[in-house]
Amino acid sequence: MAGLLAIAVSALLLAIHGELERAAVETAHARLVSGVSELGELVDQSAQNTARQHATAARTPALRDFVALRSSSEADSVRVRGILNQFVAQSPGRYMAVASTSGELLMSAGTLPDELVGRATELVRSLSPADSVVNGLPVVVGSQAYSSVAAPIVVDGAVRGGLIRWTRIGATPATEAAINRIVDPRAEVYFVHPAANLVIDPGGDVRQAPFGTGDSSTAFQVERAGADLLGARTLVDGSDWSIVALVSRDDIVLSASALFQRLVLAGLAIVLIGALVAWLASRRITKPLIRVTEAAEALARGEYHEPIALARGDEIGRLAATFDEMAHRISEAHERLTVARAEAESANAAKSRFLGTMSHEIRTPLNAIVGYTEFLLVGIGGPVSPQQRAYVERVQTSARHLLALVSDLLDLSSIEAGRLRIECHPAPLRDPVHDAVAVLESQAYHRDVTITTQCDSALWYRGDPARLRQILINLLSNAVKFSSKGGEVKIACDATETPDPAVAHYDESRWTTVTVRDAGIGIAPDKVEAIWDPFVQGDDSRTRTHGGSGLGLTISRRLARLMQGEITVESEPGRGAAFTVWLPSSTPESAANSVTAA
C-alpha cells in the first residue's frame, strides 16, 4: 500500500513540474520588466531634479557677473567658488567648472582629470540661450566613466559661458542594494549609452555585455556562454541612456526545482508517516518501550512533550516515571531560558527599531535644514548679508556635523550586530584616495591646510572601495581638524612585503599601504590604544576645541579588519601623528576573480 501511495504522489508531482517551471519563468520575466521600468522612472526623476538645480545655479547673478566682467569683485568670486563647492560636496567623484565660450576654464572645483578638460569647449559652444541644460556624451577615463552636463550662462540675451558638471558614474553599495531590490536580487543591471557604445554596471565599471547596445526591445532573451538569459530594457526619459537587466533562466528554473523538491519531500514524508503508523500498529507489544525510546530521542533533539505516564509497575514503568521527572525539570529550565532569550531579543529588537526610527526622524529635519541653508547661501531666497551668511554657514556646519554623528552611530551598530556587508575585490588604490581628498578639500581650504598626495596609479589592493574611501575620509578629517593654520597633511601610498606586526597573522605575502600624516598636536603615549575605543577622544583637554563623536577611528579600524587588513598609528605629542591603512595587495590581472564578501 505504501508503494502504491508513493507511485501516485510521484506521478502527480511529475505532472505539475513542467507547468511550475513555465509559470516561474514567465513570472520572473514579467517582474524583471516591471522592476526595470520602475528603476527608469526613479533615475529620470533624480536626473530632472539635478538638472533643475544645475540650471538654477547657472542663472545666479554672481555667476553671470563673473563670466561677463572677468574682473568682478572678490565677493562674486567667493560666491562662485561656493556654488561650485556645494555641487562637488554633494557627491564624491563630481567636478564643476565655469568656462567661457572660447573654451577658457575660468574656475573649477574638484581635481579634474586631464581627459575631461578638453571637453569643456565643445560643451559650451553647443549651448544656446534657450537651453536649460545640455547633456554631453559620457567619457571613459581609465576604468571609470563620467557623464557631463552643461547649462548656459546668459548675459544680455547671449551665451557668454557655461556651468559644466562632470560626474563619475557609479552607485554606492547602499544604492546598488536598492537597485537589486527594485529589479531582482538575482539580476545583472547595466546602464547603456548607445550613442557612445558604452555599457556600465551600477558600480561604475565599464563592461562588455551580451546584448546589442542599439536594441530597443522591452523584453528579450540572449545567450551567454551557452546559458539562456532573460532580459528587460527601458529608456530613461529625457536622456540617451537606457537600463538593461539580465537574469539567468537556469537560476529561475533552479528556484522552481527547489520548490518541486520540497513537494517531493513532503510527499515522501506523507508516505513515511503512513508506513510508520502501520508499523506501530503491528508493534503493539513493544509500544510502551517504543514510547520511552521516542521520548528520549525527542528530548535529545530539544523537543519537550507531554509525560509518558505509563501505568505500569515493572521496570519499563519505573523507567518512564524517572524519564518524566527528568523531562519535567529540563522543560522548566528550557522555559526559563526561552523567556530570558525572548527578553534579550526583544531588547535588541527595540534598540534596532529605536536606531532605525530615530535615524530617520533625525535625518529628515537635518536634511531639510541643510537644503534650505544651501538655498539661502546661493541667494535663492534673496540677497544675504555677510553677517547672515556667517550665521547660515554655522547652521549648515552644525547640521552636517549632526548627520555625520547619526551615520557613525548607525555604522557602529551595524558592525556590532554583524549586519554590515563588505564587498572585497581587486581595485586601484588611487581612486578612493583621490575621492577622499576631493571630499576634504573644502574643509582644508577653510582651515588653510594643504593636502599633498603621493599615490602611484600602479598600486592595487583587495578590498571594498566604498569602505576604504570612508576610512580615508575619517583619517583625513582628523588630520585636517588637528592641524594648525597653514599646516600640511601628507598622503603617501606604498607597497611592501614587510608587514607590520599588527597584520603579521594574516596569510598575505604583499601589502598595500596608505599613510595619512599630519603635524598637529599628536597623541599621548597612554592614549594610543584608547583612541580605538568608541566615544574616546585622543586629547580630552581639546575635545571642546576640535569636537567629534569619538567613533571615526573605531569604525575605521573595524572596517579595515573586515577587509582582512589593519590600521596602525605612530605619534609623538606636539609633533603630529601618522595613521597607516594596511590592505592586501592585488594586481589588475586578478580583477576578474570572483568577489568575496565579509
Pairing of strands 94-100, 188-193: unpaired
Q: How confident is the model at residue 8 (pLDDT cuts 50, 70, 90)?
A: low
Residue 180 pLDDT more than 90?
Answer: no
**Distant-in-sequence, close-in-space partners of 382: CB < 8 Å, separation ≥ 6:** none
Predicted pLDDT at 10: 66
Q: Are 179 and 162 in contact (CB under 8 A)?
A: no
Whole-number Å distance between alpha carbons of 316 and 318: 6
Cβ burial, residue 140 (10 Å; 0-12/13-18/19+): middle
411 or 186, greater pLDDT: 186
Range 511-522 average pLDDT? 91
Predicted pLDDT at 567: 92
* Listed range (91-100, 232-241, 253-262, 391-400) with the worst mean pLDDT: 253-262
Cell numbers that stand for 240 in this block: 540617451
| Closest to 432 in 3D by CA, of 403, 385, 464 | 464
Predicted pLDDT at 69: 76
pLDDT, tens only, 112-156 = 777 777 777 778 888 899 888 888 888 888 778 888 889 999 988
Cell numbers that stand for 569 in this block: 598609528
**Distant-in-sequence, close-in-space partners of 544: CB < 8 Å, separation ≥ 6:** none
For the chain, give the percent of residues with pLDDT over 70.
Answer: 79
Q: How confident is the model at residue 369 (pLDDT cuts 50, 70, 90)?
A: confident
Residue 513 pLDDT more than 60?
Answer: yes
Predicted pLDDT at 185: 86
Q: Which H or E run contains 582?
A: strand 577-586
Q: How confident is the model at residue 262 (pLDDT cuts 50, 70, 90)?
A: confident
Output the CA angle 269-275-279, nearest 5 degrees: 140
Q: How confident is the model at residue 72 (pLDDT cuts 50, 70, 90)?
A: low
Q: Is the alpha carbon torsion for 480, 483, 489, 493 positive or negative?
A: negative
Predicted pLDDT at 236: 86
DSSP state letter for 595: P
Q: Which H or E run contains 83?
A: helix 74-89
Average pLDDT taken over every residue of the chain: 80
Q: How confident is the model at residue 595 (pLDDT cuts 50, 70, 90)?
A: very low
Predicted pLDDT at 360: 64
Q: Which residue matches cell numbers 528587460?
A: 232
pLDDT, tens only, 17-63 = 677 777 888 888 888 889 889 988 888 888 888 888 888 888 888 88
Residue 494 pLDDT more than 90?
Answer: yes
Q: How confident is the model at residue 270 (pLDDT cuts 50, 70, 90)?
A: confident
Cell numbers that stand for 462 in this block: 583587495
Residue 99 pLDDT more than 70?
Answer: yes
Q: Are 239 and 136 in contact (CB under 8 A)?
A: no
